[in-house]
Chain A
């Protein structure tokens, strides 16, 4: 199994380390040609405006959309914003390039500024038999899911009901950062989606 991590900017090395810890071949993706031969792609946390602009500058938008049509994609935080079809208010009105593939609406910086960034335990519905500990979720200037539409469905919520993770077929989005923890469950779950598609 060969998984790419979009490496334009952000926490891509953290994802690569976790994938390698799971025995998977992980590669950095900076240009369209890097997508060749990958079984899945992770779009890491970072600054979504920056990632979007860099993707446009190097002609990655269409290749990424074509890749997503065939293969599993997982966006964490900035990656979730980038994959969404809609960004709600609270986002600065200027143009922000989006892949716009997943039927979710997100709100950027939905919990406030850095001073409001937080950690919280989460129950994740798709983890097998609901066993074990809550997932240690790290929210950094995080977005939230305003709505999951069509075939997209919410897979994790905060205690107050705010939706923070969703799935649509082979696509996954989380508004928090599993790559900043040493909990491998989300990465394993994504790899299980990749295995199903292969």
Chain B
């Protein structure tokens, strides 16, 4: 897993610590979906901690239908060259070759994402052999710990991407955090049965109980469209937020991007939240998640 690719004597690259560590540096920040170098620069200027490079934002993937795949590596490379902040990119669930390609072009984080069409309906990518870290989606503690067991170095609650409706992001974050609170109240003799029930590795269940949180950084994603949405997720207890379609599908992306960044830093300061929420122009047109049939929900992808 770790080999010596660096010229500094006894150094170790690709360790769990450096994979998880990058996510720790992103905490309290906003990761923005971008489809062009120009958008990436706007995101960086607004204070994004990282960008997710993709060909279509989830709202468009949803509208266009068809198979959604990894983006063109040439386009991702252009975005990498245009900003100094980390660049993430998405691979399909189970598509380890897409992940290998993303590693080869120097992406900083791979998102094994339900927003793309899954390539494998039984297995996720074995993420341990990669030197770059992975972020994966989850809806509950069992799913989070299965992904961490496979080597994910960062977790995001899924929400429902491309809708601009925060309700699923709230549901999934509350479920994960609530599961952890219940776990902390359990006596140790109940942990094995609980691990069996939620389909999670026992060692990670025990570790989560001891830590009182996931062993990796946990962001919220899927449906965040306003500064208030971002601050809501932060107050609920996540470490940071992903904003997909919410910024560049809105009327004034520059202003909204900045406002969401400030709201994420000052999530506990209603005075500042009020200031940054003023005059942001049109938000993205939303889709009410309760009107979506299950076949159109992305969050149910993942096993």
Contact = CB atoms under 8 A, between A and B. Distances in A.
A106 to B, nearest CB: 13
A78 B261 CA distance: 18
Given A53-B47, A54-B47, A46 B83 contact: no
A109 B86 CA distance: 10
A8 B265 contact: yes
Nearest to A92: B84
B21 A177 contact: yes
B49 A115 contact: no
Contacts of B19: 117
B29 A108 contact: no
A115 B13 contact: yes
Contacts of A45: 24-25
A109 B108 CA distance: 12
B25 A114 contact: no
Contacts of A141: 22, 25, 86, 108
B282 interface: no
Given A47-B85, A114-B86, A116-B13, A9 B7 contact: no
A89 to B, nearest CB: 12
A57 B262 contact: yes
Contact of B265 (A9, A92, A109): A9
Given A47-B25, A78-B25, A180-B24, A116 B12 contact: no
Nearest to A114: B108
Contacts of A57: 47, 258, 262
Given A114-B22, A117-B21, A50 B13 contact: no
B8 interface: yes
Interface stretch (A19-27, A63-71, A158-166, A186-194): A158-166
B229 interface: no
A71 to B, nearest CB: 23
A46 B46 CA distance: 15
B132 interface: yes
B47 A11 contact: no
A32 interface: no
Interface string B195-215: 000000000000000000000
A163 to B, nearest CB: 12
Interface string A91-124: 1101010000000000011010111111111000
Given A49-B84, A77-B25, A118 B11 contact: yes
A146 to B, nearest CB: 16
Given A54-B261, A115-B106, A120-B11, A9 B266 contact: no
Secondary structure class of chain A's binding surface, majority of residues: loop
B28 A10 contact: yes
A154 interface: no
Interface string B232-276: 000000000000000000000000001001101110010000000
A159 B84 CA distance: 27
Nearest to A51: B47
B26 interface: yes
Contacts of A139: 11, 18
A78 B24 CA distance: 12
Contacts of B277: none
A121 B19 CA distance: 18
Interface string A160-196: 1010000000000000010010000000000000000
A20 to B, nearest CB: 15
A94 B8 CA distance: 30
B15 interface: yes
A46 B49 contact: yes
A68 B21 CA distance: 28
A113 B106 contact: yes
A138 to B, nearest CB: 6
B133 interface: yes
Given A47-B50, A116-B5, A119-B15, A54 B83 contact: no
Nearest to B18: A117
Interface of A: 7-14, 30, 45-47, 49-50, 53-54, 57, 77-78, 91-92, 94, 96, 108-109, 111, 113-121, 138-141, 158-160, 162, 177, 180
Given A120-B12, A140-B21, 20 more contacts: A30-B266, A46-B27, A46-B28, A46-B49, A47-B50, A50-B47, A54-B47, A54-B261, A57-B258, A114-B132, A115-B13, A115-B14, A115-B106, A115-B108, A115-B132, A118-B11, A120-B6, A120-B11, A140-B18, A158-B11
Interface of B: 5-15, 17-19, 21-22, 24-29, 41, 44-50, 80, 83-86, 103, 106, 108-109, 131-133, 258, 261-262, 264-266, 269
